[in-house]
Amino acid sequence: MSSPEPSSPLSPDVAQRLKRDDAGLVAAIIQDDTNGDVLMLGWMDDEALRRTLSEGRVTFWSRSRGEYWRKGDTSGHAQYVRSVALDCDGDALLVRVDQVGAACHTGERSCFFTDLDAAVCSDGATVSTGTDADAATTAPTGTDAADAATTTSTPTVAADVPATTPTPRSNA
């Protein structure tokens, strides 16, 4: 774990567990506490995390604007903190929230609404959906290359996570 920031506003116990990037930030995955949907990803430094923990509303550090922003202050789409967990490596936070309105600046409930349409095999390998030749060279052993080539035409996307069955998304 990285050492705490010199003047961290966090308790020493929390600060010493965080593994920050070169800019002093930790990724914060925001998840709906009610249904488990992943809503968005933001970035927090020690002060943003302190505000999140002490105020009960999610605060991020905006890398593009170079300032703090509390989710919902301008849009009304607030995130009320239910719990905060640190991952095993200390480099990511999971913030479970009660979401009011849309989480995404586009108006979507979740920022993760763009499906890459990549065909992922049961062994986790990604199949190219370009040409038949591509499919034949990238299809994993035991997979019929012709079946792999019949998926929609999109670029190959590398996947190093196990394949899972996606949960249908509610548009409510």
pLDDT above 70: residue 146: no
Percent of the chain residues topping a pLDDT of 70: 67
pLDDT band at 137 (very low <50, low <70, confident <90, very high): very low
User: Is 111 one of the annotated binding-site residues?
Assistant: yes
User: Is 88 one of the annotated binding-site residues?
Assistant: yes
pLDDT in tens, 66-105: 999 999 999 999 999 999 999 999 999 999 999 999 999 9
What pLDDT, on a 0 to 100 scale, did the predictor assign at position 11? 87
Domains and CATH numbers, the chain: 12-99 (3.10.20.810), 115-163 (no CATH)
What average pLDDT score do residues 140-156 get? 39
User: Is 104 one of the annotated binding-site residues?
Assistant: yes
Q: Mention every residue, 6+ apart, whose C-beta is less than 8 A from residue 113.
A: 104, 106, 169
User: Is 121 one of the annotated binding-site residues?
Assistant: no
